[in-house]
Amino acid sequence: MGTREAIIIGKARVTLNDVNEDNPRWSDERLYGLLDEAQEVFCKDIPLVRNNVVITTVGGQADYRLPEDCVKLLTAKSNGIPLDIISYDEIERDNPSWEDTTSSAFSHVVTNSLSQQIIRPYPLVDNSIQVKCNYQALPVKLGWDVIDKRIVEALTMNGMWDLGLRQYIISQAFLDYGDESSIQRSLTALGLFTKEFNRAEKLARKSFSKRSPTTAYQARVTPQGENYGRRSSRY
């Protein structure tokens, strides 16, 4: 697929000294697989890909599931009003009776640190309300067409991190050999990747430094439901 992905792989091959097209040391499938892996490593820890979903709540239902690509809920709004995001541990600590609270509107969204895809708008309401969620998402996997020998999808991440993606490919490819020289080259590339990763992480922290603070609350639990609603993306 696209020129951008081919450029990243081509530059990686130059560093790997693997420019013999007739007899490459690493197959395209292997290197594009590492490119896919590099993108996921970035996006699992840093919100470089963000998606939106609108959930329509059902009266009496407590839990809702965000889409499968969700890594972490970032912001939530109801009727244009921001909702504070709070963990189960925090809400339980501040108000042990929170599960018994009901209201006509939401004030918070309770999240589970071990399962970010499950959220609970708080407190429990009897009417139907729309909640707009913005969440950190995993990138679309590149995939590999074994017949045409090419990737199926394009990179999801912004192009400003292509250097980091390339260095990750180089670092992991050199490990395929395992000799001392290759390992040292791998460590050098890994250091460059880590530098880009840390830069992305720092920029992400600045972007979300003004996020709404959490406070105290209450709610009640019924069986988990699924409601995905409308969805869009921005990077």
> Residue 208's pLDDT is what?
63
Specify if 54 maps to a domain. yes
Specify if 164 maps to a domain. no
Report the C-alpha gap between 34 and 174 in whole angstroms.
12
Cβ-contact 221, 62 below 8 angstroms: yes
- Which uninterrupted H or E stretch holds 12? helix 3-15
Report the C-alpha gap between 145 and 150 in whole angstroms.
5
Choose among 50, 64, 8: nearest CA to 31: 8
Is a pLDDT exceeding 80 seen at residue 184? yes
Q: DSSP for 94-162?
A: H-TTGGG-B-SS--EEEEETTEEEEEEEESB-SS--EEEEEEEEPPPP---BTTTTB-SS---S-GGGH
The mean pLDDT value of the chain amounts to 87
> Residue 128's pLDDT is what?
93
Tell me the pLDDT band of 23, cut-offs 50, 70 and 90.
Answer: very high
> Residue 209's pLDDT is what?
55
> Residue 228's pLDDT is what?
35
> Residue 234's pLDDT is what?
39
Q: 39 and 55 share a domain?
A: no
Number of domains in the chain: 2
> What mean pLDDT is predicted for residues 175-189?
95
Choose among 49, 233, 221: nearest CA to 118: 221
Report the C-alpha gap between 54 and 78 in whole angstroms.
10
How is residue 195 written in tokens? 């530098």
Q: 31 and 56 share a domain?
A: no
pLDDT by residue (tens digit) across 126-177? Answer: 889 999 999 999 999 999 999 998 999 999 999 999 999 999 999 999 999 9
Specify if 165 maps to a domain. no
Q: 125 and 227 share a domain?
A: yes
> Which of 30-39, 42-51, 107-116 comes out lowest in average pLDDT?
107-116
Q: 133 and 57 share a domain?
A: yes
Q: 83 and 30 share a domain?
A: no
Q: 42 and 144 share a domain?
A: yes
> Residue 59's pLDDT is what?
84
| Tally of CB atoms within 10 A around 228 | 14
Report the C-alpha gap between 66 and 133 in whole angstroms.
9
Specify if 166 maps to a domain. no
Q: 199 and 229 share a domain?
A: no
Specify if 192 maps to a domain. yes
Q: 62 and 119 share a domain?
A: yes
> What mean pLDDT is predicted for residues 215-220?
35
Residue numbers of the domain that contains 82: 50-137+212-234
> Residue 44's pLDDT is what?
94
pLDDT by residue (tens digit) across 71-123? Answer: 999 999 999 999 999 999 999 998 888 888 888 899 999 998 888 899 999 99
